Amino acid sequence: MSIKGISINVNEVGTSLSDMFEDYLNSDRSPVVDDAIKYYGTNFQTFLLSNMDNEMNNKSQDIKDKIFKLSLEKYAKGMWYCFNKGFLWAAGVLTDTNGESYGIKEFSDERFINQFVESVDQLIAPGELTEMLDREDKHVLDLYLHNNFLNTFQFTNKQAEIFFKKGLNEFCFYVQRKLGYVENSELTKLGRVSYSKRFEVTPAADAIVTIATSSVEEWTLYWNSTYGAGNSLKVIGRCLIQKLTSEDISKKISWGNSEYDRVEQILANQMNDTNKPSLFCRLNIHVSQDWPRDIELSEVRTITNVIANRIQVNTNTSPENFVIELG
């Protein structure tokens, strides 16, 4: 495979690919990796707390705190290493001048990007991917964790694969920028998100708009392509957003609609303007045995906070006029 519009000196592929990665690190998308590490770091800490060995359990709290701090630092370095490997692997595959040529048409199609990221399951055997990533900072992480925690290797391997695939995904976004692609899909009137394309909600989840009017909007949340083929079609949950005036809320409460009992606080903030709109958001997580992994309560809170922040920013809604709760 190769990319139309990006030229690579085949005699200096290693240097060229390294330059690509350095260029990416200087772009406005580079915080994506740190955001993902922060997001998954919550799951990592929960895992460590549940898997301390007997010796670790008997250590003083000060020593435990130091070990946890160092574990998180090594986790961040290990996941950055896996992301780097994914980015460079994608660059090597997609800039191979001996293969099929792709251009802006393909890289502007989210289905092409998702299929490419998911195709790694067929292109690289699971054992080979584990062996490829079990080096340098990832290997250092595993050695350190082995001294204090149980069952760590399987957990870090799954995390490593996610960050490797995130590297594939980010390389595709990097190519988009290099080819001059500009996102021009229409935005919804309420949430100001894409009508027609998947958009990222968290480092683990994407969403698609399923209902969109000027006063009601629904997003369906899915696992993203980093969880492998088939999982990006599995639903995590749904988010319903409603634009309501205080008059609307008062009527619903007077009709005995208990769904709005907890938003009465909005009324106190709007006594002087009954037509001032507020946003009411309900997030429902649909737990399934078919998920690629479980979602901890701490992650549900994170998803809730991410969605709340995004909606408030996109709609310029002040906190006192916004309520989000779990269904």
Residue-wise pLDDT tens digits, 94-123: 776 665 666 777 777 888 888 888 888 888
pLDDT in the model for residue 263:
55
Q: DSSP of 59-73, one letter per residue?
A: S-HHHHHHHHHHHHH
pLDDT in the model for residue 259:
58
Same domain, 213 and 173: no
Same domain, 26 and 156: yes
Same domain, 152 and 251: no
Instruction: Specify whether the CB–CB gap between 160 and 138 falls below 8 A.
Output: yes
Same domain, 253 and 120: no
Identify residue 42 by its one-letter amino acid code.
T
More confident of the two residues 90 and 157: 157
More confident of the two residues 27 and 281: 281
In which domain, by residue range, is 56 found? 2-178
The model's pTM is 0.86
**Distance of alpha carbon 36 from alpha carbon 68, whole angstroms:** 19
Same domain, 258 and 119: no
Same domain, 203 and 282: yes
Answer whether residue 187 is part of any domain: no
Q: Is the pLDDT of residue 15 over 60?
A: no
Same domain, 267 and 318: yes
Q: Is the pLDDT of residue 324 over 90?
A: no
- Comparing CA positions, the residue from 171, 15, 162 lying closest to residue 78 is 162
**Distance of alpha carbon 270 from alpha carbon 23, whole angstroms:** 49
Same domain, 235 and 305: yes
Number of domains in the chain: 2
Give the pLDDT band of residue 150 (cuts 50, 70, 90): very high
